């Protein structure tokens, strides 16, 4: 029998759904295990058809009153919501470290502050969504951003709290009501968001959280015609299925999907700096969609770069993510460990050269050595498909035209990194087909800037005005400058 609460390292969290302002139990549950040591954290409620229906019904019922509030009135609620996240900062850090394996240090210094900002920044930015005037000779146009309705938000397991709030901020600030389906393998911080919403006084039904698997809960959610928007971060196959299902109801979707991003090292690059940044690609055990995983290194500096990066990789501290000295933690699930190993085994069998790593790490069953594979073909599986683990590839090039072709030579186009003399690197970066690319840097983000990919890496953009363009219905109210008289011409 499922307990009313779970105790995870001293943090009390509900395993139940959060629907219409209250906790809702389920007759079906699923087991939740920690990637740190495979211990059972407890049983979590599985979302059945009745729970999905109740959540969407509650959101639809709450929508008229929530959407009728001004942006300033909604901001009061959302600022309180962010404050409640801040009050539970330690709890969020401990929960996500235990159920997702995210580094405790990253949670403290990066994720939780960013989660709060995701709420407050979009609440503030929504104040600027006043009527935008377009004045023409014939009429005054007032362009409005009206809330769309009930929004479904589906988040992945590699950064559950950050990505949930990244979508929740603009969706709620715009005046929508929301149903969140958190990741099955890491649902606990999303559950805690329900407590924050309740404590902040968000009206019942404005935020609903239904836990469960994608095949059960997620499928029921995205097939409901009452939804106005679906925002999903995850895998390409799942996005394709969601698109087909939502298409039957003409529901707009936003997808942030996988990456196979190039990390370009030009001959005129600062090799040591590029190598130090390269080692960052192993953070979160390589479970980062925007990481540069395909290293494209000029042949003239190949050996120097490999030696420099090996030096940084050998110093990485691999271990328990709850230890703030740890730099690389566990892979989320045994199935993901098997997937990573199978990619590596097939690559080596196909002729790839193993520079380092290539196997599990002695710290534990779900820990994997940072790995680099060289001498890989452009058309090989390991180059063309996302591994989503601490596995990188290295190829060499001899000219700018060659590296641009290699960088653009996959079906993905999320991010990228380019190291070299600034003008040269910028020139190369501008020709890489991707949603964003860092020049001589990595990870610089701003909530006002667009984020998203092209090709198989996604549809649409998130951030700033782009988030509101998706979560709103844009409407033009047209008022003529002169009295309008209808007239008909007859032949």
Report phi then psi at 51, rounded to 5. Answer: -75, -40
Check 93, 196, 253, 289 and give the catalytic one: 289
320/241 Cα distance (integer angstroms): 36
Residue 446 is assigned to a structural domain of this protein: no
79/82 Cα distance (integer angstroms): 5
46 catalytic residue (yes or no): no
349, 203: one domain: no
96, 81: one domain: yes
| Of the candidates 324, 328, 485, 471, the residue with the CA atom closest to the CA atom of residue 391 | 328
> Which CATH number do you get for residue 67?
3.40.605.10
Please tell me whether residue 284 adopts helix, strand or coil conformation.
helix
Quote the domain boundaries for residue 276: 261-439
Residue 310 is assigned to a structural domain of this protein: yes
Residue 284 is assigned to a structural domain of this protein: yes
Phi-psi region of 64 (alpha: psi -120 to 50; beta: other; left: phi over 0): alpha
Check 96, 256, 327, 386 and give the catalytic one: 256
The pLDDT profile of the chain, 491 residues, written as one tens digit per residue, is: 678 899 999 999 999 999 999 999 999 999 999 999 999 999 999 999 999 999 999 999 999 999 999 999 999 999 999 999 999 999 999 999 999 999 999 999 999 999 999 999 999 999 988 778 899 999 999 999 999 999 999 999 999 999 999 999 999 999 999 999 999 999 999 999 999 999 999 999 999 999 999 999 999 999 999 999 999 999 999 999 999 999 999 999 999 998 999 999 999 999 999 999 999 999 999 999 999 999 999 999 999 999 999 999 999 999 999 999 999 999 999 999 999 999 999 999 999 999 999 999 999 999 999 999 999 999 999 999 999 999 999 999 999 999 999 999 999 999 999 999 999 999 999 999 999 999 999 999 999 999 999 999 999 999 999 999 999 999 999 999 999 888 876 55
219/251 Cα distance (integer angstroms): 14
30, 169: one domain: yes
Which sign does the torsion angle of CA 343, 348, 351, 354 carry?
A: positive
Residue 486 is assigned to a structural domain of this protein: no
36, 107: one domain: yes
346, 281: one domain: yes
337, 237: one domain: no
Residue 55 is assigned to a structural domain of this protein: yes
236/234 Cα distance (integer angstroms): 7
211, 332: one domain: no
- Whole-model pTM: value is 0.95
Bridge partners of 140, per DSSP, are: 135, 479
461, 370: one domain: no
50, 137: one domain: yes
> Which CATH number do you get for residue 270?
3.40.309.10
Helices (H) then strands (E): counts for the chain: 16, 24
Residue 395 is assigned to a structural domain of this protein: yes
Residue 490 is assigned to a structural domain of this protein: no
Burial of 431 (0-12, 13-18, 19+ CB in 10 A): middle
156, 29: one domain: yes
Burial of 335 (0-12, 13-18, 19+ CB in 10 A): exposed
Cα dist from 308 to 162, 299, 360, 367, whole Å: 32, 15, 23, 24
294, 269: one domain: yes
214, 266: one domain: no
Residue 300 is assigned to a structural domain of this protein: yes
289 catalytic residue (yes or no): yes
């Amino acid at each position: 029998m499922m307990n009313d609460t779970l105790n995870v390292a001293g943090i009390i969290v509900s395993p139940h759904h959060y629907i219409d302002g209250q906790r809702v139990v389920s007759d079906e549950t699923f087991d939740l295990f920690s990637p740190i040591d495979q211990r059972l954290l407890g049983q979590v409620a599985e979302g059945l058809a009745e729970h999905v229906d109740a959540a969407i019904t509650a959101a639809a019922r709450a929508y008229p009153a929530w959407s009728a509030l001004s942006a300033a009135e909604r901001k009061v609620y959302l600022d309180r919501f962010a404050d409640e996240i801040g009050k539970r900062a330690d709890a969020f850090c401990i929960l996500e470290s235990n159920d997702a394996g995210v580094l405790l240090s990253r949670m403290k210094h990066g994720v939780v502050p960013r989660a709060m900002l995701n709420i407050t920044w979009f609440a503030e930015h929504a104040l600027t969504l006043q009527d935008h005037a377009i004045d023409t000779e014939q009429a005054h146009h007032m362009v409005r951003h009206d809330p769309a309705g009930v929004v479904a938000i589906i988040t992945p397991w590699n950064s559950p709290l950050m990505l949930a709030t990244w979508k929740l901020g603009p969706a709620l600030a715009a005046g929508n009501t929301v149903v969140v389906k958190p990741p099955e393998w890491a649902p606990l911080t999303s559950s805690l968001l329900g407590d924050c919403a309740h404590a902040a006084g968000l009206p019942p039904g404005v935020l609903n959280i239904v836990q469960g698997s994608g095949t059960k809960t997620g499928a029921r959610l995205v097939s409901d015609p009452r939804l106005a928007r679906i925002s999903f971060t995850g895998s390409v196959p799942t996005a394709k299925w969601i698109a087909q299902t939502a298409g039957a109801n003409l529901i707009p979707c936003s997808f942030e999907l996988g990456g196979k991003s190039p990390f370009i090292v030009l001959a005129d690059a600062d090799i040591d700096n590029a190598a130090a940044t390269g080692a960052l690609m192993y953070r979160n055990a390589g479970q980062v969609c925007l990481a540069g995983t395909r290293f494209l290194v000029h042949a003239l500096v190949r050996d120097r770069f490999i030696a420099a990066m090996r030096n940084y990789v050998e110093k990485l501290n691999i271990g328990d993510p709850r230890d703030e000295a740890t730099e690389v933690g566990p892979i989320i699930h045994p199935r993901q460990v098997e997937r990573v190993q199978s990619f590596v085994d097939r690559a080596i069998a196909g002729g790839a050269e193993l520079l380092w790593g290539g196997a599990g790490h002695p710290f534990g069953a779900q820990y994997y050595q940072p790995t680099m594979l060289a001498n890989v073909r452009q058309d090989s599986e390991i180059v063309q498909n996302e591994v989503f683990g601490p596995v990188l590839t290295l190829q060499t090039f001899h000219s700018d035209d060659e590296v641009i072709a290699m960088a653009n030579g996959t079906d993905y186009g999320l991010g990228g990194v380019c190291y070299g003399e600034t003008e040269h690197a910028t020139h190369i970066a501008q020709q890489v087909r991707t949603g964003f690319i860092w020049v001589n840097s990595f990870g610089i983000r701003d909530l006002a800037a667009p984020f998203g990919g092209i090709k198989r890496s996604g549809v649409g953009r998130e951030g700033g005005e782009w988030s509101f363009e998706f979560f709103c219905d844009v409407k033009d109210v047209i008022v003529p400058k002169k009295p309008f008289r209808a007239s008909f011409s007859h032949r």
